Structure 1
Amino acid sequence: MPRISAPTVAEHRAAQQRALLDAARAILAETGRPPTFAALAERAGLARPSVYQYFRSAEDLLRAMVEDIFPRWSATVAQAMDEAPDDAARVLAYIRANLELVAEGEHALATALASIGPASAVAEGSRVMHDELLQPLADTLRVLGVRDVTRTSELVNAVVNSGSRMIESGAPLEQVWASVEELVTPFVESLVLRSVGRVDEPLGA
């Protein structure tokens, strides 16, 4: 048995798989192409046969990358929203976190993966990520009293998509964010005012 660098074999395997996935992400980001097992082993500092202990084939590796990359995006956005001080700030945090990920290259990475990954896995990963991304936004908009939550969520997402394209075309994140914040802030502030008015109405009746 190979020497392990963790308290248990299971933890060792998890750490090795994490190292391989991180190496695969780095190679994909640099080249836009799926990593070969030889390149992957070299980047992760492992012997090439070791890679086959974690991924049976190139398609198996790509599937694992899909399952790794898409949920991490959703989790990052959800955490940013959870750290926001109030519901209005949650909406802005949703947009800001998405744009930051785009600026960091995550969107380009996901797009590259979508172009080379197994079609069924990518399609399912994209659908799951879209649903997971919109759910906390939809919940927040619902709390703020939005009448058509589904449509409004998609419209907010359209702002994210437009900002993302600007960033990917070379616009600085902070410049794009300044414009987005100026556009969206009056909207969320009006939702808060309307929500407060709706709550306070019975008290003044």
Structure 2
Amino acid sequence: MPKIRAGTVREHRAQRLDQLVDAAEAIMAEHGVDGLTAGAVATRAGIARNSIYRYFDSIDELIELVVTREFPAWVSAVGAAVEAERTPQARAVAYVRTNLELAARGSHGRRAALSRGALSVAGRQRVKDLHGTLNAILATVIDDLEAAQPDLLQAVLQALVDAGIRRIDVGDEPPGVIDYACDAAGRLVD
């Protein structure tokens, strides 16, 4: 019987899952998706190979866990930044800025590449659904702006975020991208 190294079984399970996801991320960073095997993850995490399947059903599910790991914190940060602003215009700019700042700090590019190439159909759908939570935040901002063409404005602001993230992912300096995108967003919503 394995030793529980946390206050509760639930905490132990969460810690172990984090270790497995950490191990998977490290393996993929060093060897790509092809290097990701159950044995490699188990060895890296320091547990028995057959034990890893207590935490996920397949390597595809583990890849999905890696790709979606940062989403809850990302959505929370964007929501908080938007809510902290007083005007709809400032909320729209906060949406753009916060998404780009998070992309600049994290591993978005690597996760996006995984979601395009290594995720199962179900995993890609989960990522799409999670992006939908961000789109819902932007939709609320657009409603508050009372724009003449709300759907078009939402699409353009999201395209601005997407383009900025792509530029950051390919190596453009984040402060310049963020400043440019925020200025453009501000002009769009004035």
Offset at residue 48 of structure 1 (A): 2.6
Offset at residue 137 of structure 1 (A): 1.0
Whether the 8 Å CA contact 1:63–1:117 is kept in 2: the answer is yes
Provide the identity percentage.
Answer: 34
Within a 5 Å distance, the mapping from 1:50-199 to structure 2 comes to: 50-103=51-104, 104-122=106-124, 124-188=125-189, 190=190
Q: How many pairs does the alignment contain?
A: 188
**In 2 relative to 1, CA 164–125 (structure 1 residues): closer, same or farther, beyond 3 Å?**
same
Offset at residue 8 of structure 1 (A): 1.6
Offset at residue 176 of structure 1 (A): 0.9
Q: Which runs of 5+ in 1 are unaligned?
A: 191-205
Separation in structure 1 between the aligned mates of residue 101 and residue 28 of structure 2, nearest angstrom: 19
Separation in structure 2 between the aligned mates of residue 62 and residue 134 of structure 1, nearest angstrom: 24
Q: Deviations over 1:128-186 (max 9, x none)?
A: 12321111111012112123322211110111122122222221000111212222223
Separation in structure 2 between the aligned mates of residue 108 and residue 102 of structure 1, nearest angstrom: 11
Separation in structure 1 between the aligned mates of residue 33 and residue 179 of structure 2, nearest angstrom: 34
Task: Name the aligned partner's letter for residue 118 of structure 2.
Answer: I
**In 2 relative to 1, CA 30–97 (structure 1 residues): closer, same or farther, beyond 3 Å?**
farther
Separation in structure 2 between the aligned mates of residue 70 and residue 161 of structure 1, nearest angstrom: 16
| Structure 1 stretch displaced more, 5-14 or 17-26 | 17-26
TM-score, reference length from structure 2: 0.83
**In 2 relative to 1, CA 37–69 (structure 1 residues): closer, same or farther, beyond 3 Å?**
farther
Q: Deviations over 1:38-88 (max 9, x none)?
A: 322233333333212212322332344455454554334223323445432
**In 2 relative to 1, CA 172–30 (structure 1 residues): closer, same or farther, beyond 3 Å?**
farther
Q: Which runs of 5+ in 2 are unaligned?
A: none
Offset at residue 126 of structure 1 (A): 3.1
2:22 is aligned to 22
SS in 2 for 1:55: coil
Separation in structure 2 between the aligned mates of residue 101 and residue 107 of structure 1, nearest angstrom: 11
SS in 2 for 1:6: coil
Offset at residue 16 of structure 1 (A): 1.0
TM-score, reference length from structure 1: 0.78
**How much is the aligned-residue C-alpha RMSD, in angstroms?**
2.4
Whether the 8 Å CA contact 1:24–1:40 is kept in 2: the answer is yes
Offset at residue 29 of structure 1 (A): 4.1
